[in-house]
């Protein structure tokens, strides 16, 4: 008999894309599976999930606003309303299991599911568990994690090390180097750095690249530079409109597979989804964790890789002064590059989506 599964969470691409990957894996394992998403109204999941072909219900929920005391006055009312709506959604859909991937909507939905005796699975993406997941962990049927040492947050008997679901098309880089360099208009005889701060961009990475641009030029290094849409104009104003044969500057990378394939080293933030992809790509990585995230979890994500000798860490605070020099030193050290590639590859868990999906179907059947 076909199973009915609710997947809840979102807010950022780092939550939404893994959630959609799990849904796709569920449909591959059993095409008859019925899936309903629950997200937060006004957040990007309300657009991305329907585009992927799945129905979604929105809760009127928000997170704690550090910069606005006034907005926080509405939080208890929104939380109460979201709990009532989540309970109604569970009652109507009658799921066999629920999945929470993090984000505002995940808490109310999993809480309602637990109270209504629906087994649920938590997918904790980071090396430092969020407050909501920690509170819901005791009653979860299973907690799928991407990093070691998560028993300090969750009951050890419920933990399964699965890794984070990745975009399979983005990490499909085998045999694509020459195609990739031609795509970006770059030379096969020069070293290439990929810099990516995600679709929105990262101010620190962009400022650091501008600060070090002439050092890269002097060393004849090529750069694939994803600025993000918030920073593209600022970067182009700084570097000018003239020809820059060694620099491919773009607002957004539509072909991450080719960007990864072209790179000799990669500079990135330390979001859980990014790290999961980088482990599969197996290129030397310099991580500049964002300080603007809950519990500073990106720094903890990066530290877990550094502990294994699998990445180089540059702090956000020091990046403008240090990033260019660190990148050039890594790029020139072939043995260091080989070691970083090998170590990060050892951490890859490329089939996380199917492993998690099988676990979801198991708890839907057995519990």
Residue pLDDT, tens place only, 144-192: 999 999 999 999 999 999 999 998 899 999 999 999 999 999 999 999 9
Report the chain's mean pLDDT, rounded to a whole number. Answer: 92
Residue closest to 258 by CA, chosen among 215, 226, 210, 290: 226
What whole-number distance in Å separates Cα of residue 121 and Cα of residue 12? 20
What whole-number distance in Å separates Cα of residue 35 and Cα of residue 8? 11
How does pLDDT run across 12-36, given as a tens digit for each residue?
A: 767 888 999 999 999 999 999 999 9
Average pLDDT over every residue of 76-91: 87
**Which residue shows structure tokens 């990046």?**
319
Fold (CATH) for 4-166+350-366:
Rossmann fold (3.40.50)
State the architecture of 177-346 in CATH terms: 3-Layer(aba) Sandwich (3.40)
Residue boundaries of the structural domains of the chain: 4-166+350-366, 177-346
Helix (H) or strand (E) holding 225: strand 222-226
Confidence of residue 243 (pLDDT cuts 50, 70, 90): low
Average pLDDT over every residue of 292-313: 92
Q: How much is the pLDDT for 261? A: 98
Name residue 56's beta-bridge partners.
Answer: 37
Bigger pLDDT: 294 vs 284: 284
Is 126 annotated to bind a ligand? Reply is yes
DSSP annotation of 126 reads S
Q: Do 122 and 9 contact (CB within 8 A), yes or no? A: no
Is 14 annotated to bind a ligand? Reply is yes
Highest mean pLDDT among 72-86, 283-297, 331-345: 331-345
Q: How much is the pLDDT for 292? A: 82
Is 298 annotated to bind a ligand? Reply is yes
Matching fold, domains 4-166+350-366 and 177-346: yes
295 sits in the region (left: phi over 0; alpha: psi -120 to 50; else beta) called left
Q: What is the pTM of this model?
A: 0.88
Q: How much is the pLDDT for 216? A: 95
Confidence of residue 84 (pLDDT cuts 50, 70, 90): very high
Confidence of residue 294 (pLDDT cuts 50, 70, 90): confident
Is 167 annotated to bind a ligand? Reply is yes
Is 246 annotated to bind a ligand? Reply is no
What tokens does 309 get?
């000798």
Residue closest to 192 by CA, chosen among 262, 269, 253: 262
**Which residue shows structure tokens 């990516």?**
196
């Amino acid at each position: 008999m076909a199973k009915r599964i609710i997947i809840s969470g979102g807010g950022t691409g780092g939550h939404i894309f893994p959630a959609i990957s799990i849904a796709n894996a569920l449909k591959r394992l059993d095409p008859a599976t019925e899936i309903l998403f629950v997200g937060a109204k006004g957040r990007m999941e309300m657009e991305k999930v329907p585009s992927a072909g799945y129905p979604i219900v929105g809760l009127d929920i928000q997170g704690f606003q550090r910069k606005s005391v006034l907005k926080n006055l509405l939080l208890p009312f929104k939380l109460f309303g979201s709990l009532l709506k989540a309970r109604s959604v569970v009652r109507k859909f009658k799921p066999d299991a629920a999945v929470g991937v993090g984000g505002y909507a995940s808490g109310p939905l999993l809480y309602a599911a637990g109270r209504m005796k629906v087994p649920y699975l938590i997918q904790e993406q980071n090396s430092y568990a969020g407050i909501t997941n920690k509170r819901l962990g005791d009653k979860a049927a299973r907690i799928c994690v991407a990093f070691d040492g998560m028993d300090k947050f969750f009951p050890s008997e419920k933990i399964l090390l699965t890794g984070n679901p990745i975009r399979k098309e983005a990490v499909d880089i085998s045999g694509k180097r020459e195609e990739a360099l031609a795509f970006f208009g770059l030379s096969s005889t020069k070293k290439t750095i990929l810099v990516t701060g995600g679709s929105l961009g990262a101010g620190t990475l962009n400022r650091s690249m501008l600060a070090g641009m002439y050092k890269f030029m002097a060393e004849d290094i090529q750069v694939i530079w994803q600025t993000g849409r918030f920073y593209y104009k600022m970067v182009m104003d700084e570097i000018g409109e003239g020809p820059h044969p060694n620099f491919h500057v773009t607002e957004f990378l539509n072909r991450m597979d080719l960007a990864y394939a072209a790179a000799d080293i990669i500079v990135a933030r330390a979001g859980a989804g990014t790290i999961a992809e980088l482990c599969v790509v197996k290129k030397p990585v310099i991580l500049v964790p964002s300080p603007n995230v809950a519990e500073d979890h990106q720094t903890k994500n990066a530290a877990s890789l550094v502990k294994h000798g699998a990445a180089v860490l540059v702090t956000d605070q020091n990046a403008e002064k240090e990033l260019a020099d660190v990148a050039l030193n890594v790029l020139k050290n072939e043995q260091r590059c080989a070691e970083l590639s090998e170590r990060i590859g050892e951490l890859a868990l490329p089939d996380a989506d199917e492993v998690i999906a099988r676990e979801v179907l198991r708890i839907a059947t057995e519990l």
